[in-house]
Amino acid sequence: MSDQKISFFQSVLDYFDAAAPFTGHPDGLLDQIKACNSIYRMNFPVRIKGEYKVIEAYRVQHSQHRSPTKGGIRYSMHVNQDEVMALAALMSYKCAIVDVPFGGAKGGVRINPWEYEPEDLEKITRRYTMELIRRNCIGPSVDVPAPDYGTGSREMAWIFDTYRTFAGQDIDAAGCVTGKPESQNGIKGRTEATGRGVFYGIRECCSFEDDMKKIGLKPGIEGKTMVIQGLGNVGSFTGKISQDEGGVKIIGVGEVEGYISNPAGIDIHELLAFRKEHGTMLGFPGAESFGKEAREKCLELECDILVPAALENVINKENASRIKAKIIAEAANGPITSAAQLILKERAVVIIPDMYLNAGGVTVSYFEWLKNLSHMRFGRMEKRFNENINKTMLEVVEGATGKSVSERDRKIIARGADEIDLVRSGLEETMVTAYQQIRAVYEQHPDVPDLRTAAFVVAINKIASDYLALGIFP
């Protein structure tokens, strides 16, 4: 059977089943971990332009081994029950890998958001939120949504406002949803979080000399070539941060209108400005352009690092043998089918798995949730204290050495950490530690075939320990 016919959720189950034998847990416990606990399908009417339209929507809570459950809401015509179940399951494993104390959940509304005016999207979002409230599927201690494909801070603000209308006595109401605007109890760094996490994950993968030697690359991320498929939030921030902070050369970019390539390099900032002005990236100066009919071909460009940052199943049994990248960094959810992975493994392609690599969003969402529950921004207590301590240390050093520090260096050394600095530091620590845990399993167990399997082993073991601590599986 062609892997195009294998459902997204079935692919997740295949990956789970491949990892389960390495954990040693009993079948009953494994069955509980991989099952979706609650599946809600909703159909609700919304009046749009004088006519009622029935909207199909979902919320799946995969696992309550930790509370609340956590997961984004996507608006797309591709939304269906199987997809939302798969994404919810991945959220459970993702949260476990990066030690974020949430169970996994996901939501979806089956619409094309670009076909609606903002006021109509607001009606749909608020009505969807009401449906979640009715089913007790939202709340800071119950289930906490976040942005996903087709949604952003605007939609999260509407959700927050609707929730607090019905839960006005909840002092922690701001924690009912994350990804909110900074002005409405959001957190600095949330918009860039997933892309920045992708960068940290790729950088950590490339830092191991032995691993890079196996695929013919030098250690370190600087100078490596990258192709990005998808210029949404995740792809654009991955590109900008990889280029600016990692010294990566971006040689190809794919989007819905086609793809462009330039072996000499593409400045991602100039490309984003060009696309914003012209509505397309085709025709970008210095790059060769290919139309919509060839848009998937960008995946087959020769490069060191391929970043699929769009939708699932874009690398499948049909095109896997034509992939020329040495590292595939899964910024999107489920971009590689289980059948394609087998082909890529035979060709020694390193796959950094999605359930780890795109966990930056949920990590910083966790920071936002903590901020909302504490009712205080990060850095408020310690910023000035640390700044004063650093200034005192500088004065001591200057007095002892007789040398003065320039005003510019003084500002850099003495400054205390702002919220954005602490968020980035926490995210970097999370992504580096999680990768090292995954790699340790991969290195210590010769029979574990790849990093994805190792990531599932890590996730299953952490979730299993929660169930065992509850005494459900003595």
- 3-state SS of the chain? CCHHHCCHHHHHHHHHHHHHHHCCCCHHHHHHHHCCCEEEEEEEEEEECCEEEEEEEEEEECCCCCCCEEEEEEECCCCCHHHHHHHHHHHHHHHHHCCCCCEEEEEEECCCHHHCCHHHHHHHHHHHHHHHHHCCCCECCCEEEEECCCCCHHHHHHHHHHHHHHCCCCCCHHHHCCCCCHHHCCCCCCCCHHHHHHHHHHHHHCCCHHHHHHCCCCCCCCCCEEEEECCCHHHHHHHHHHHHHHCCEEEEEEECCEEEECCCCCCHHHHHHHHHHHCCCCCCCCCEEECHHHHHHHHHCCCCEEEECCCCCCECCCCHHHCCCCEEECCCCCCECHHHHHHHHHCCCEEECHHHHCCHHHHHHHHHHHHHHHCCCCCCCCHHHHHHHHHHHHHHHHHHHCCCCCHHHHHHHHCCCCHHHHHHHHHHHHHHHHHHHHHHHHHHCCCCCCHHHHHHHHHHHHHHHHHHHCCCCC
CATH number of 193-357: 3.40.50.720
Catalytic positions: 106
pLDDT at 92: 97
pLDDT at 474: 61
* CATH superfamily for domain 38-184: Leucine Dehydrogenase, chain A, domain 1 (3.40.50.10860)
What are the tens digits of pLDDT across the range 150-194? 999 999 999 999 999 998 789 999 999 999 999 999 999 999 999
Percent of the chain exceeding pLDDT 70 equals 98
pLDDT at 5: 65
Domain locations along the chain: 38-184, 193-357
pLDDT at 294: 86
pLDDT at 197: 98
Asked whether the domain spanning 193-357 has the same topology as the one spanning 38-184, the reply is yes
Stretches where the chain sits below pLDDT 50 are: 1
pLDDT at 1: 45
